[in-house]
Structures are given as C-alpha cells and as structure tokens.
Amino acid sequence: MFSPSHLASAARRRRLRAAIGLAAVAVATAAAMSAGRNAGAPPAPVELLDALSGGDTTALDATTNAFGLAARNLGREERRAFEIGDSLFTQNWVTAPASTANRDGLGPLLNAQACASCHVFDGRAKPPTDPDDPERGLLLRLGVSEGDTESPHPVYGDQLQDRAILGVDPEAQFVIDTTDVPGTYGDGTPYTLQRPTYRITDPAYGPLGRNLLLSPRIAPQLVGMGLLDAVPEAQILASADPKDADGDGISGRPNRVRDIQTGRAVVGRLGWKANVANTRDQTAGAFRGDIGVTSRLAPEEPCTPSQTACNDAPTGPTPQLDDEALDRVTFYVTTLAVPGRRNLDDPAVTTGARFFQTAGCTGCHTPTMTTSASDVTSAVEHQTIHPYSDLLLHDMGDGLADGKRDGRATGREWRTQPLWGIGLVEPINGHTRFLHDGRARNLEEAILWHGGEAVGAREAFRTADRATRDALIAFLESL
C-alpha cells in the first residue's frame, strides 16, 4: 500500500513536526486536557488540530507575507522557478507593442494589469466601494438566459471588463447597492446582514438587455492550489451524495468541466463554482479574461465580434504569453504554501474544533484529504492535507444564489470553500470580507448566510451560546 515516497514523506513529516514542537501526540494530549476541563465533552478530533494544513508544503511563518511563501519542501532549483513565476504574477502588463519583451499584450479589454492587483499579497480581495476604487478583485461574470438555455452575452461576453487600453472603451462600470437583512441569535442578540445587488452603469456597447445573468466573484487567497490539483478524482467523488442517500440533509455533487490541455471531461476543482479543472487552466483563463493576455490554452482576445475597436487594436505576437511563461506562473501558483496553524493550545480553539464537528460543518468542510500524483511538481504529491473542503457543489439556498449556471453548477450551488488560511486574511489583507462576493463583513456573517443544505449547521451556530460561537470563530481564526 505504501510507496517508498510515501514513507519518505511520512519521515519528513515527523521530523518537521518534531522541529516545531507539534508532535501529533502533543496535540492529542492538549485536546484531551482541554476536554478534561469541560467534563463530559468528547475530545476534539486530532485531525482538526493539526498545524500542518498543507503537509510538508506548510509554511511556518505567519507574517504578512504568509500567503506568498513557497512550499517548504521545494528544492533550490524549484525555488528559483517559484521566484521567476512570482515576478510574472506581480508585474504590470503593458499595451503591445512595447520595447519590454515578455511584458506586453495587455487588453484590449481588461479588469486589471497584474494577477497581484486582485490577489493582493496572493490573498483575498474585498468588494470595491465605487467604480474608481483601485480595488480590482470583484468580477462580474455575465450571461443571458433564454428559456432553459444560458449563453455568454452576445456583445459583452462572459465577463464584464471595466477597464481597457487607450482607444478602446471599457465595457461598463458597476455600483454595489446593499439591503439590510436583520436576524437574531438564539440568545436574543440581534445582527444585520447586508445583501448586495449590482447596478451596471455606463454600458459602452449598447444596453445589456433584460435576460441578463450576473455572477459576482471575489478573488480568494491562492494557498494550496497544487495540493487541490493533486487530490485524486476518486477521493472527491467518494464523498458525493447527490441524492442524499445517507439522509443527513447534505448532498454534494461534483462539477464537470473540460481540462483545456487534454480536452478531457474532468471533475472541476477551482473557482467558487468548481468551474475550472486545475491551476494551469485557471492561470491561462485569468491571463486572458482578467488581463487580456492570450496564451496557447486561451488564444482568443476577450473581444466579441461587434466590439470593433477591441478587434482592431494591435496585439503583438500571438499568443502573447509563451508556454514557458505560462508554465512559470502555473508553477508559482501551484507551489504557494499553505500557512501553518496558530494557537492550537488555546482552549477556545479546541472547543471550537469540537463544535465545528458537532454542528455539522465537517459535512462539507472536509478536514482531511490526501494527494497523489502531480504533473507539475513532486512537492505536492503524497501529502496529508487539511483543506476543509470536499471540493463539491452544494445548494446554499436562495440567500446566496446568483441564478447563473456554470458547467453543471446550478444558480444555487457553490463549491465548499476551502478554509485553510482563512484566519490570516485579516492580518494580510486588512479586511474580513468573506463568501463568493465578499458580502460577509466577518466570519460570523459568513456562517449566518449559509442556507440550503447548510441550514442545519447554520442553525446549530445561530442557536449556540455566545461562548460556543466565539470558540468556533477562534477555531476558524486558527486555520
């Protein structure tokens, strides 16, 4: 059953644990001690208190650059490749033709000039306050519905590009309006959620029409992408329960998408609707759709036929990004480390871990997975990881529904968002905006928005006493 690399990896893992004084035994003891303090309560599962969320890749450095660190187990050559990828991820692209080789091809339509404009410090964006906000990390995906079918918008395409190069009109701007949604915790404490709606202003290519579908998406932190790529498909499918055969109210189904490189239909893993096959496809898609830089995997500029200035703009070489550059950025994103966990000996964290399980959060936020092979790097192979996601789609109710399909995902379904690193969003990105559109203003609101299949878990949280709710938040902040 165990391959030699498995054994080597286990040995490395033990050494790493020993080095940081977090041997599994010590963690188990801490859990047992804390359980002892709460007489009668079962001990928190040890897997919920493992510091090494990303296995051997875990970076044990919770500084403000903790989302931007290389996997801990990269060799020297790989570290160099990571750094080259980092510079391509961070640099601003410019309009073609430019004298700076390998940096041109921006636009004609675009949302931002660099990957890092949205994934600030490789982290999480927040919704813009107005159209001039330099914050670029909220995208509006577009479509039109006709009866039962959905297609990209005939003029505006599948994404609203609110920036453009000189001489080309940006497609439009948008403004976010919010409505208050009041509620009350079980102990009588009131709270107010904010539901966002999107108003498109200044459309430059004619009206958007009546059957418009909008799916807002915020840029998430990019930790552990290569590990998620390396989880075997069978493992994801094993927890799918589309007809809820076990009767726990939670179904979960995989999205199915095309792997652009191989052309094969595969289980989708990345994106808020698991609408992308892997990090390479996501990188090529982002270069094209968000920055306007084409590559072999995404060779068409984001101009629709009637956008003439866009079609006529000079583009430089085709594709604009060569395979080597695409590989380097892919390598960079694949090997971004998962941050190690903090405060595991805090009793609130242990209590929170236990409640995370009894409240039913683990029904979707799967604590543990294992990886197998990767075609990018052995660093992510054969790792025991704690992404807190099943990578499946769940009906999250009307409150979170965007009404727009994506692959097999319906307008009510979202991929269980991995929770690793979530506690570092505030120190790194300076805000606590969560969920697919950044509507939640803190972790409590993120949980209170859960509906549909997650109603039971949400209610367990809403009706819990204050100390238990705080403990759950302490647990999330330790991730």
Q: Which of 13, 17, 72, 119 binds ligand HEC (CB under 6 A)?
A: 119
CB–CB of 370/346 below 8 Å? no
Nearer to ligand HEC, 34 or 416 (CB): 416
CA 159/CA 155 separation, integer angstroms: 11
Q: What angle do CA 38, 43, 49 make, to 5 degrees?
A: 115
Using rule CB under 6 A, residue 434 touches ligand HEC: yes
Nearer to ligand HEC, 13 or 394 (CB): 394
Token code pair at residue 92: 């601003």
Site string for ligand HEC, 33-72 (x = CB under 6 A): ----------------------------------------
- 86-105 residues near ligand HEC, rule: CB under 6 A: 89
Angstrom CA distances, 114 to 216, 337, 432, stand at 20, 20, 23
Nearer to ligand HEC, 9 or 371 (CB): 371
Token code pair at residue 366: 């799967």
Q: Which of 126, 341, 405, 450 binds ligand HEC (CB under 6 A)?
A: 450
User: Which residue's structure tokens are 């920036």?
Assistant: 163
Using rule CB under 6 A, residue 229 touches ligand HEC: no
Q: Which of 57, 73, 117, 255 binds ligand HEC (CB under 6 A)?
A: 117
Site string for ligand HEC, 205-224 (x = CB under 6 A): ------------xxxx-x--
Angstrom CA distances, 95 to 104, 107, 204, 300, 430, stand at 5, 7, 21, 16, 31
CB–CB of 137/125 below 8 Å? yes
Using rule CB under 6 A, residue 396 touches ligand HEC: yes
397: nearest Cα among 437, 343, 362, 449 = 449
**CB 322 to ligand HEC: min, Å:** 14
**CB 75 to ligand HEC: min, Å:** 22
- 263-322 residues near ligand HEC, rule: CB under 6 A: 270-272, 275, 279, 282-283, 286-287, 290-291
476: nearest Cα among 297, 318, 352 = 352
Q: Which of 106, 353, 454, 471 binds ligand HEC (CB under 6 A)?
A: 454
**CB 117 to ligand HEC: min, Å:** 5
270: nearest Cα among 333, 214, 325 = 333
CA 139/CA 437 separation, integer angstroms: 9
CB–CB of 275/263 below 8 Å? no
226: nearest Cα among 120, 332, 325, 321 = 332
Nearer to ligand HEC, 218 or 471 (CB): 218
Nearer to ligand HEC, 72 or 450 (CB): 450
CB–CB of 272/436 below 8 Å? yes
CA 219/CA 221 separation, integer angstroms: 7
CB–CB of 123/429 below 8 Å? yes
Going by C-beta distance under 8 Å and a sequence separation of 6 or more, which residues neighbour residue 464?
186, 355, 359, 472
- 120-139 residues near ligand HEC, rule: CB under 6 A: 136-137, 139
Nearer to ligand HEC, 9 or 331 (CB): 331
Q: Which of 447, 448, 464, 471 binds ligand HEC (CB under 6 A)?
A: 447
Using rule CB under 6 A, residue 30 touches ligand HEC: no
Site string for ligand HEC, 319-348 (x = CB under 6 A): ----------x---x---------------
**CB 14 to ligand HEC: min, Å:** 30
**CB 372 to ligand HEC: min, Å:** 19
Angstrom CA distances, 464 to 144, 284, 447, stand at 42, 44, 13
Token code pair at residue 421: 């690193």
CB–CB of 391/274 below 8 Å? yes
Q: What angle do CA 385, 387, 391 make, to 5 degrees?
A: 115
Token code pair at residue 255: 């999205």
**CB 42 to ligand HEC: min, Å:** 17
Q: Which of 298, 414, 462, 477 binds ligand HEC (CB under 6 A)?
A: 414
Using rule CB under 6 A, residue 81 touches ligand HEC: no
Token code pair at residue 139: 């995208």
Q: Which of 53, 95, 111, 307 binds ligand HEC (CB under 6 A)?
A: 111
- 234-253 residues near ligand HEC, rule: CB under 6 A: 250
58: nearest Cα among 5, 12, 91, 101 = 12
Which residues contact ligand HEC (rule: CB under 6 A)? 89, 111-112, 115, 117-119, 136-137, 139, 217-220, 222, 225, 250, 270-272, 275, 279, 282-283, 286-287, 290-291, 329, 333, 356, 359-361, 363-365, 394, 396, 400, 414-417, 419, 422, 434-436, 443, 446-447, 450, 453-454, 457, 461, 472, 476
